[in-house]
Amino acid sequence: MTITRRTFLAGSAVGVAAATGLAPAQASGDPITSWIARKAEPLGDLDHLRRSIAGAQIVGLGEAVHATAELTHLKLRVVRYLVERLGFRAIAFEDDWSLGTQLNEYVLTGRGDLNALVGQLSTESRTHEIAELFAYLRTYNATHRDKVRFAGSEYFATRQLAYDAIDEYVARRAPHRLAELRRSLKPIRPQLEDIGAYVQWYWKEVKDKAPYVAKAQAVLALVQKLPHRPNDRDYAITEHHARQILSFYTAFSLPEAEIWGYRDARAAENVRWWHGFTRNKVIYWAANAHTANAPGLRVTVPPDPDVVFRNAGSYLRDWYGDRYRSVGCTVDHGTTLGPVTLPPASSDWFEHQLTAARNGQFVLDLHSRPQPDAVRAWLRGTAKTRGIPEYGPGSYMTGDSLSDWFDVAIHTPEVTPTHPLVS
């Protein structure tokens, strides 16, 4: 989702040419930019990523900002490489789980209207460039037995289909519990087709949210007590539907500052669940703010107080160790969908050195050796980067170090907006 203050909480045809070589952007005696210039690799066929992410079970594929043509196409290139060369067969995407089940059906079978489905994603993802991701997955699956599966990693727009799926499952598997289920499920089933409007109604207008949370808890508890076979995938999906419903009602009952951390904790759990469910290596497609290993992430959004929270990537690093690898797609300046202007990186943002070191797009393994003392200090010092684009350079993110945040940075100096499906 576009990281606005509101959409961070609630969710919310430019090609990328392969570089043929890299040249320093400017002559410099600075040891940091000199090190970057030596270690940076042209995009090429991306095979140098193999060294950086070998052995990974989950790759966090981040982006500094959403809704730029260059970063979206770059990430699609990385997806293709991970799928076709490294055997990744699952994607967890920064959007709603329930809609994701329909998109998964599309990429597996071709059933459904692709543009209509993409048009229900968070606003910044309703673009031709994101549609290309699903078109690629569908084409790949149509010609391969070993399919790539897709899931949304978020709860923030849990749709009616999740409620209906639980009702159908209980009616089929435990009809004697159906009346009990419906006493809790029906009162909380969204009555608005516009799920965004329902989010705003519940979040902003419902004063007493405790009954909704209690009924969602009752639904999950009932499902979890149903007898089922080990490794029953039908049951596992039904339980996951119920878990997202509870996450939805719980999240929007919390004080606003607490939703940030709650959301990322649930996203991390959902990615881990998807990894276990598919028994396949997973690509976690989201913003850098979620995919980076940042246990102490601080977001500044003037004039509001800073928000500090533990992000999804830090949970995944704790759980998986080096089997979780973080790839950050970074940017210096340009324009994103809105349009929102992205000024050049401030001198104290890490992108400043990346842009100064090389022209064009490049890949940098942040663990490359040797590292002079100045480089180690830069990589291990407190990192700082762009925050919420709409708030300009006064909004930034910091906390932890650059070498903690990312194993690999793929840098793009300038970006332009993606193209909406509907003008």
Give how many domains the chain has, as a whole number.
3
Q: Is the pLDDT of residue 19 over 50?
A: no
Answer whether 56's CB lies under 8 Å from 316's CB: no
Report which of 226, 305, 230 is spatially closest to residue 260, judged by C-alpha positions. 305
Q: Is the pLDDT of residue 328 over 80?
A: yes
Claim to verify: residue 38 and residue 129 sit in the same structural domain: no
Claim to verify: residue 318 and residue 402 sit in the same structural domain: yes
Angle at 94 between CA 203 and CA 85, to 5 degrees: 170
| pTM of structure | 0.94
| pLDDT score of 29 | 79
Tokens of 386: 């762009």
Tokens of 65: 């900002």
Q: Is the pLDDT of residue 26 over 60?
A: no
Report which of 404, 148, 156, 153 is spatially closest to residue 293, judged by C-alpha positions. 404
Claim to verify: residue 349 and residue 289 sit in the same structural domain: yes
In a domain, 246, yes or no: yes
Mean pLDDT to the nearest integer, 393-416? 97
Cα–Cα distance measured from residue 99 to residue 6, given in angstroms and rounded to the nearest whole number: 20
Domain coverage including residue 225: 162-280
Q: Is the pLDDT of residue 11 over 90?
A: no
> Band of the pLDDT at 7, cuts 50, 70, 90?
low
Quote the DSSP letter at residue 338. Answer: T
List pLDDT tens digits, range 111-163.
999 999 999 999 999 999 999 999 999 999 999 999 999 999 999 999 999 99
Q: Is the pLDDT of residue 181 over 90?
A: yes
Q: List C-alpha distances in Å: 267 to 154, 155, 284.
A: 6, 8, 10
Claim to verify: residue 123 and residue 62 sit in the same structural domain: no
Cα–Cα distance measured from residue 323 to residue 197, given in angstroms and rounded to the nearest whole number: 39
| pLDDT score of 13 | 28
Domain boundary among 154, 178, 204: 154
Domain boundary among 229, 264, 280: 280
Length of the chain: 423
Claim to verify: residue 263 and residue 329 sit in the same structural domain: no
> Band of the pLDDT at 24, cuts 50, 70, 90?
low
Q: What is the chain's mean pLDDT, rounded?
A: 93
How far does Cα 91 stand from its chain's mean position?
Answer: 10
Claim to verify: residue 408 and residue 319 sit in the same structural domain: yes
Claim to verify: residue 249 and residue 329 sit in the same structural domain: no
Cα–Cα distance measured from residue 406 to residue 45, given in angstroms and rounded to the nearest whole number: 21
Claim to verify: residue 168 and residue 240 sit in the same structural domain: yes
Cα–Cα distance measured from residue 227 to residue 274, given in angstroms and rounded to the nearest whole number: 22
Claim to verify: residue 176 and residue 256 sit in the same structural domain: yes
Q: Is the pLDDT of residue 6 over 90?
A: no
Cα–Cα distance measured from residue 22 to residue 32, given in angstroms and rounded to the nearest whole number: 17
List pLDDT tens digits, range 234-293.
999 999 999 999 999 999 999 999 999 999 999 999 999 999 999 999 999 999 999 999
Cα–Cα distance measured from residue 86 to residue 154, given in angstroms and rounded to the nearest whole number: 26
Claim to verify: residue 76 and residue 52 sit in the same structural domain: yes
Cα–Cα distance measured from residue 291 to residue 289, given in angstroms and rounded to the nearest whole number: 6
Answer whether 388's CB lies under 8 Å from 396's CB: no
Cα–Cα distance measured from residue 166 to residue 181, given in angstroms and rounded to the nearest whole number: 9
List pLDDT tens digits, range 63-120.
999 999 999 999 999 999 999 999 999 999 999 999 999 999 999 999 999 999 999 9
CATH number for the domain including 226? 1.20.1440.30
| pLDDT score of 45 | 87
Angle at 75 between CA 73 and CA 81, to 5 degrees: 110
Q: Is the pLDDT of residue 230 over 50?
A: yes
CATH number for the domain including 418? 3.40.1660.10
Cα–Cα distance measured from residue 400 to residue 382, given in angstroms and rounded to the nearest whole number: 5
Cα–Cα distance measured from residue 126 to residue 119, given in angstroms and rounded to the nearest whole number: 5
Claim to verify: residue 290 and residue 264 sit in the same structural domain: no
| pLDDT score of 232 | 97
Higher pLDDT, 329 or 26: 329
